[in-house]
């Protein structure tokens, strides 16, 4: 073999070895990784590890991904390919942490094969890429008793939720004993009258069907959810009681809640000074608020008060949006976008780590010291938040709300957790039910039985109540959004609900998995400018309105003075005043435009400055340095001949190595 042939052979061999090394090495070394993200997005959370460590029966995971089809698709499918790789590696981490209890199978279902039939039979979602190619991307978990749980489709856009979804899948496939959540509400939160199947048929027939709130459906994935009737006189058999918008409850029902808590029951309560999710508001108008005095009496014993007609507001957490379609978008005080600022400082598993909640007209909670009860804040505004009062039509006028609001110095609390031994709000025992006592033997027997039933004056053991001052937070309208795959989780509102339920039940593993998510990193500097500009705008609007009101008052005063003799003069005066006012308003409006324009221009200016800094600043410096360096070299060459560094390196080396070369 000649030297040339040998070299060619080596080149070909090195090409093959490169491909081999790349493929084998990257496949083998994928599992070793370092997560650089602040939120540790790519490492398995402790909750998942804890659930995996508790596995005591085998689970088989079948990951269906149409890889061959995806490799033939459009460029857009590369995102899905990458997501598949991410999920596959994540599942391998699951297998590694499962003490051999999880078996993973990756299946590429080709069209018209038994694998495709299986995928369809399991209920995975099928998409058509072309006329011949179909696409699946889902997973099936099977436990040893044959119970199957599926995720019908993985959406790369929901990447932050993937670990939670997978852990949930495994958790539900284990089929642990379900806990019971009782839901008690003045609203139609749960509709048990029709099954989802019947509801679908009814909808197809064009009939309107009231669905249960979606958060309760999410809770159903792990637990049993039952509706507690409003005429109940005793609450038992539930692990946690969720009370939503308590108003109009009978005394007996409030007493039952009181005794349920004292008996060791756990309570999750949603109250609201203005619940816009109450359908009666839409039909009859007005404001739907809770708690009513009856329930407020219970809360008083817990040491928590919701101030009536008072709302928590925070300029820095207010959402941008459009209240009126004819108005330009602006900041809305009523809609609060709670980020990490609302939950930082509390290490509760319920809200710790949450950074994306949407609240509508949240109320302001105030705690009172009650012996034996410890309160901890779960959700609060920033230090600059404050409470404001508003009622009736004012709630529909964003400008009025802004006028009523002023920045505060202390956070306003919107959710509390109270733990301890509670005292009854009914020291005299069962309140009368208002109906006539039944007579006869039966009534006597019932009375005797009631006496027997132990009336609790205080908790025997520690119990817990979580109170959230917003009902809308868990309503479908604010916790979910529509997507082409049906309703999708819009924010972490539902997470707050499920976290609170599970923390009260005592299963905290799923909690830590769920709260893992992306931290939003907004442009704080720009937000500050926007807020400043809006404050200026508001001041100007206030000034304009004050001027209008003043002139209107003057005009009406003139009107009152008018009689037949002076009406012509007064009309002239009125006209003059009107003209003056129009002039004044025009001036103020100009100033208003100026404030708005200057705010916008400042933001645009910052954008332009940074654009210039990043596009032309360094290139210009490079050009200047290049010209300077070139001139310097030319000058040195003209002065001293070729500069030192111009000499070829070989010459220097030749000199240094002498005659050896």
| Binding residues among 5-34 for another protein as defined by CB under 8 A | 7-8, 10-11, 14-15, 17-19, 21-23, 25-34
The pair of structure tokens assigned to 9 is 């052979």
Closer to another protein at the Cβ: 18 or 575? Answer: 18
Q: What CA–CA distance (Å, rounded) separates 484 from 211?
A: 19
Q: Is 279 in the site for another protein (CB under 8 A)?
A: no
Smallest separation, CB 323 to another protein (Å): 22
Closer to another protein at the Cβ: 393 or 635? Answer: 635
Tell me which residues in 147-186 interact with another protein (CB under 8 A).
none
Residues 558-597, mask of contacts with another protein (x by CB under 8 A): ----------------------------------------
Smallest separation, CB 44 to another protein (Å): 13
Smallest separation, CB 40 to another protein (Å): 10
Going by C-alpha positions, the residue among 469, 418, 466 that lies closest to residue 312 is: 469
Largest distance between two CA atoms of the chain? 130
Smallest separation, CB 652 to another protein (Å): 6
Closer to another protein at the Cβ: 70 or 364? Answer: 70
Q: Is 607 in the site for another protein (CB under 8 A)?
A: yes
Q: Is 369 in the site for another protein (CB under 8 A)?
A: no
Q: Is 374 in the site for another protein (CB under 8 A)?
A: no
Tell me which residues in 413-472 interact with another protein (CB under 8 A).
none
Per DSSP, helices labelled H in 319-440 are 340-343, 398-404
The pair of structure tokens assigned to 339 is 């980020």
Q: Which stretch binds another protein (CB under 8 A): 292-300, 575-583, 590-598, 619-627?
A: 619-627
Tell me which residues in 39-58 interact with another protein (CB under 8 A).
41-42
Q: What CA–CA distance (Å, rounded) separates 164 from 169?
A: 8
Q: Which stretch binds another protein (CB under 8 A): 4-12, 180-188, 256-264, 403-411?
A: 4-12
Smallest separation, CB 352 to another protein (Å): 19
Closer to another protein at the Cβ: 204 or 661? Answer: 661
Going by C-alpha positions, the residue among 335, 476, 305 that lies closest to residue 402 is: 335
Tell me which residues in 632-661 interact with another protein (CB under 8 A).
633, 645, 648-650, 652-653, 656-657, 660-661
Q: DSSP letters of 268-304?
A: EEE-BSS-TT-HHHHHH-S---B--HHHHHHHHHHTE
Q: Is 283 in the site for another protein (CB under 8 A)?
A: no
Gyration radius (Cα) of the chain, Å: 35
Smallest separation, CB 18 to another protein (Å): 4
Q: Is 127 in the site for another protein (CB under 8 A)?
A: no
Q: DSSP letters of 220-252?
A: HTTSEEEEPPTT-S---S-SEEEEES--S--HH
Residues 501-530, mask of contacts with another protein (x by CB under 8 A): ------------------xxxxxxxx----
Smallest separation, CB 431 to another protein (Å): 54
Residue in 127, 393, 628, 629 binding another protein, rule: CB under 8 A: 629
Q: What CA–CA distance (Å, rounded) separates 606 from 526?
A: 9
Q: How many CA atoms lie within 13 A of 155 on its CB side?
A: 10
Distance of CA 250 to the CA centre of its chain: 34
Residue by residue, what is the 3-state secondary structure of 102-143? EEEEEECCCCCCHHHHHHHHHCCCCEECCCCCEECEEEEEEE
Residue in 446, 575, 613, 637 binding another protein, rule: CB under 8 A: 613
Closer to another protein at the Cβ: 506 or 607? Answer: 607
Residues whose CB falls within 8 Å of the CB of residue 602, separated by 6 or more in sequence, listed in order: 529, 533
Closer to another protein at the Cβ: 444 or 652? Answer: 652
Q: Is 105 in the site for another protein (CB under 8 A)?
A: no
Q: Is 220 in the site for another protein (CB under 8 A)?
A: no
Residue in 127, 393, 610, 635 binding another protein, rule: CB under 8 A: 610
Q: Is 609 exposed, middle or buried (0-12, 13-18, 19+ CB in 10 A)?
A: exposed
Strands 240-244 and 180-185: parallel
Could you give the 3-state DSSP secondary structure of residue 380? strand
Going by C-alpha positions, the residue among 209, 210, 204, 244 that lies closest to residue 228 is: 244
Q: How many residues bind another protein (CB under 8 A)?
A: 76
Closer to another protein at the Cβ: 84 or 416? Answer: 84
Q: Is 113 in the site for another protein (CB under 8 A)?
A: no
Residues whose CB falls within 8 Å of the CB of residue 419, separated by 6 or more in sequence, listed in order: 373, 374, 376, 462, 463, 464, 465
Tell me which residues in 59-98 interact with another protein (CB under 8 A).
68, 70-75, 77-78, 81-82, 85
């Amino acid at each position: 073999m000649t030297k040339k042939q040998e070299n060619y052979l080596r080149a070909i061999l090195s090409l093959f070895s490169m491909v081999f090394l790349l493929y084998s090495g990257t496949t083998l070394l994928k599992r070793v990784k370092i997560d650089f993200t602040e939120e540790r997005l790519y490492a398995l959370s402790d909750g998942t590890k804890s659930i995996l460590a508790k596995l005591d029966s085998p689970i088989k995971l079948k990951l269906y991904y149409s890889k061959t089809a995806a490799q033939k698709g459009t460029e857009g499918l590369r995102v899905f390919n990458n997501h598949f790789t991410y999920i596959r590696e994540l599942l391998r981490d699951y297998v590694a942490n499962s003490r051999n209890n999880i078996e993973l199978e990756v299946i590429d279902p080709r069209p018209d094969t038994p694998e495709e039939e299986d995928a369809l039979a399991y209920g995975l979602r099928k998409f058509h890429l072309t006329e011949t190619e179909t696409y699946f991307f889902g997973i099936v978990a099977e436990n040893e008793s044959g119970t199957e749980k599926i995720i019908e489709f993985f959406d790369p856009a929901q990447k932050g939720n993937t670990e939670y979804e997978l852990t949930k899948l495994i958790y539900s496939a284990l089929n642990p004993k379900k806990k019971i959540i009782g839901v008690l509400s003045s609203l139609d939160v749960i509709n048990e009258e029709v099954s989802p199947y019947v509801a679908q048929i009814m909808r197809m027939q064009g009939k309107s069907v009231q669905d249960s709130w979606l958060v309760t459906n999410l809770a159903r994935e792990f637990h049993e959810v039952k509706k507690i009737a409003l005429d109940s006189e005793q609450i038992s058999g539930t692990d946690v009681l969720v009370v939503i918008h308590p108003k109009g409850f009978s005394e007996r029902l409030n007493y039952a809640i009181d005794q349920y808590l004292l008996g060791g029951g756990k309570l999750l309560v949603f109250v609201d000074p203005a619940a816009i999710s109450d359908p009666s508001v839409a039909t009859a108008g007005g404001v739907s608020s809770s708690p009513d005095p009856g329930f407020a009496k219970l809360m008083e014993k817990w040491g928590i008060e919701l101030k009536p007609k008072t709302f928590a507001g925070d300029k820095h957490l207010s959402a941008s949006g459009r209240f009126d379609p004819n108005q330009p978008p602006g900041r809305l005080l009523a809609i609060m976008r709670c980020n990490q600022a609302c939950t930082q400082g509390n290490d509760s598993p319920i809200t710790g780590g949450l950074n994306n909640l949407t609240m509508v007209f949240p109320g302001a909670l105030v705690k009172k010291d009650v012996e034996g009860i410890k309160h901890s804040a779960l959700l609060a505004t920033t230090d600059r938040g404050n409470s404001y009062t508003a009622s009736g039509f004012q709630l529909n006028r964003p400008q009025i709300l802004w006028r009523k609001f002023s920045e505060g110095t202390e956070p306003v609390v919107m959710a509390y957790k109270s733990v301890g031994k509670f005292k009854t709000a009914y020291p005299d025992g069962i309140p009368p039910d208002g109906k006539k006592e039944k007579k006869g033997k039966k009534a006597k027997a019932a009375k005797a039985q009631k006496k027997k039933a132990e009336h609790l004056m205080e908790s025997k053991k520690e119990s817990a109540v979580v109170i959230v001052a917003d009902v809308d937070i868990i309503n479908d309208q604010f916790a979910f959004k529509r997507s082409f795959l049906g309703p999708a989780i819009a924010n972490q509102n539902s997470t707050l609900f499920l976290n609170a339920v599970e923390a009260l039940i005592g299963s905290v593993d799923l909690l830590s998995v769920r709260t893992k998510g992306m931290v939003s990193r907004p442009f704080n500097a720009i937000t500050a400018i926007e807020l400043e500009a809006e404050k200026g705008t508001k001041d100007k609007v206030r000034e304009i309105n004050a001027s209008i009101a003043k002139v209107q008052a003057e005009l009406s005063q003139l009107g009152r003075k008018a009689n037949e003799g002076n009406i012509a003069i007064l009309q002239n005066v009125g006209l003059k005043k009107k003209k003056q006012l129009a002039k004044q308003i025009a001036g103020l409006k100009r100033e208003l435009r100026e404030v708005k324009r200057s705010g916008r221009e400042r933001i645009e200016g910052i954008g332009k400055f940074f654009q210039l800094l990043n596009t032309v600043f360094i290139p210009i410096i490079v050009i200047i340095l290049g010209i300077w360096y070139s001139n310097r070299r030319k000058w040195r060459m003209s002065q001293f001949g070729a500069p030192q560094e111009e000499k070829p390196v070989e010459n220097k080396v030749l000199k240094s190595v002498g005659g050896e070369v």
